[in-house]
Chains A and B, each alone.
Chain A
Amino acid sequence: MGVTNQALPSGYQLLNYRIDRQISRGGFSIVYRAFDDGGGPVAIKEYLPSSLVLRTEGDIVRASTAENLTSFRYGMKCFFEEGRALAKINHPNVVRVLNFFRANETVYMVMRYERGRTLQQQIQMRQDQVSERLVRHVFMHLLNGLREVHTHKLLHLDIKPANVYLRTDGSPVLLDFGAARQTLTNTRPKLAPMYTPGFAAPEQYREPDRLGPWTDVYGIGASMFACLAAFAPQAADARLSEDHLVSAKKIWAGAYSDNVLEVIDWCLRLDPHERPQSVFALQKAIRDIPPRKRKLTFLDTLKKKLFSEVV
């Protein structure tokens, strides 16, 4: 059996926060639910890369070898990058960072606790088709958050349903800004798996100097695709050698409005230049989609009434 990193136990006092339980364990970190001084819930992300075994007991993180320490410290930069990025952003559709500190020889990020589930879970739970209304609603709001991110000259670079949280009121929150991660790949393979196949844009594999808002736009398109399909589109690197991706327009013709499907296909273009170049451009395209069934306005009803009376 492989040895894994030990999570902090329930009841553990971390500065002025009390750990309640582990919510999730990812490649780079463990996320806990905890309570602050006033008893309010918070989410705390602990930097603890799973590829490095650093804590088999107790709370202190210890690198077993010098090389381990190097990798550990190196990856910490990305964690800082995430903190730095989020600290600047105060937007209802982007997860809010409340505190950032060092303890146990590692670093922690405290976030506002959100109730709900990830879009990924939502997709997996659904039996029937996701409605067009839900897709539009979630992505319009999510794009507001992403626009704010881009306004701060930051790129997310890992947009996928697992990193979109849906609050119980249905509003989306963008999570997980381990943004600068792709810089890890070449040099420190130990901390590697940085892009998510299916959601990462082709330039993330090949041309890191061509990253831009259009890179996140690809992730948005892939996430919309996944909402309809309940699986991710073909990975971009595979698409580059042999593109098997069937256009959304073909797969779901008739089931969703042409325009939603066209927007998805537009976002998923392999050539970065052929995609919407900004979130704003994308939002405009989505907004321009004529609603499938318009609710009758007061005027419509009136007209109808008058019409029937005349007839």
Chain B
Amino acid sequence: MRFTIFQESRKGQRKVNQDRLAYTYSRDTLLLVVADGMGGHVGGEIAAQIAVRLFIERFQQEAKPTLKNPLKFLQDSMLRAHQALGSYANQFSMLETPRTTCVACVIQSNYAYWAHVGDSRLYLFRQGGLIGQTKDHSKVQYLVDQGIIGANEVVDHPDRNKIFSCLGGLVDPVIDLSRRTPLRNGDLIVLCTDGLWSVYPQEEIARALTGTPILKSSPTLMREAELRGGPEGDNLSVIVVRWGPETLADEPTTTITETLGLGEFQTEIDRTLTLTDRKGAQRDLTDDEIERAIAEIQATIKRYRR
């Protein structure tokens, strides 16, 4: 796989950052996760942290080096995260379960798959145009769908923070799954929390990121967004992936995953803000894995024997 990736989380004007984000990839599959812990509730940041961790850990167990069924992986992980939050609350006798939104995306064999719960978003841009997006599980989105308010009224609406689906809620989450979406080189996948999308309309994000190397434009976008957030500015986070080899940058920035060994992963959990340690996720090869690697190599030798 070849891609360029950027991720950043900013605190805005809040005391704590309850956003968490991470990506990890094996040789052949990439996972992106963003979670926005819910502020009004106890331990929003714990919730976000647990959700992100759970995605990463499950991925590293199952992407060997690809996921059998990416959509099922996303759905199961959402549910497991929801359950994990419940048991976490139980374990620590918390009165209220910590809650979080979550959006996650898997890219494998040039296809993207995503799932979300709540109002953290994914946008898929191609040549500056929006070709895919999530639809918030929020009251205002419902009002928009019903034609009661216009899309432009969303960001100022008094109820704009009310979401009806989250991980850790009293009822099971509503999980939306995308379709299997083919990607082309140059496509931009953007995952973000409401701290970003509420101050940066989708068209402007597209404009800011199209036609310039994302490692240049994304930090600028985040700085600008934090400014726009003003004195009340919320936490804001983004992961941007430009799919395929970077052709815009004047220096090599493309991540090339083929140098990863069998069963290895490269992981970045939002660098600045991670609560806990990163324990070396290195394991030995099992006998099973050795047999499979050999079978794979033998099959390849046969295939390429002229």
Contact = CB atoms under 8 A, between A and B. Distances in A.
Contact of B291 (A81, A98, A102): A102
B290 A187 contact: no
Interface stretch (B82-90, B108-116, B185-193, B297-305): B297-305
A210 B215 CA distance: 14
A73 B260 contact: no
B297 A83 contact: yes
B161 to A, nearest CB: 37
A187 B280 contact: yes
15 contacts: A69-B284, A77-B262, A77-B285, A88-B304, A98-B301, A102-B290, A102-B291, A102-B294, A153-B2, A155-B258, A183-B261, A208-B259, A210-B252, A210-B253, A211-B259
A80 interface: yes
Nearest to A214: B252
Given A80-B262, A84-B262, A90-B305, 10 more contacts: A77-B261, A77-B262, A87-B300, A88-B300, A101-B298, A107-B294, A210-B252, A211-B256, A214-B252, A272-B251
Interface string A171-189: 0000000011011000100
A140 interface: no
B250 A77 contact: no
B149 interface: no
* Majority SS at the chain A contact face: helix
A84 B297 contact: yes
A157 B259 contact: yes
Contacts of B91: none
- Which residue among A78, A87, A99, A277 has the maximum number of chain B CB atoms within 10 Å of its CB? A87
A89 interface: yes
Interface in A167-215: 179-180, 182-183, 187, 208-212, 214
Interface of A: 69-70, 73-74, 76-78, 80-81, 83-84, 87-90, 97-102, 107, 153-155, 157, 179-180, 182-183, 187, 208-212, 214, 272-273, 277
Contacts of A107: 290, 294
B256 A87 contact: no
A89 B258 CA distance: 15
Of all A-B residue pairs in the complex, the 6 with the closest CB atoms, nearest first, are A77-B261, A87-B300, A73-B284, A83-B297, A100-B297, A87-B301
Contacts of A102: 290-291, 294
Contacts of B217: none
B282 interface: yes
Contact of B260 (A83, A89, A183, A272): A183
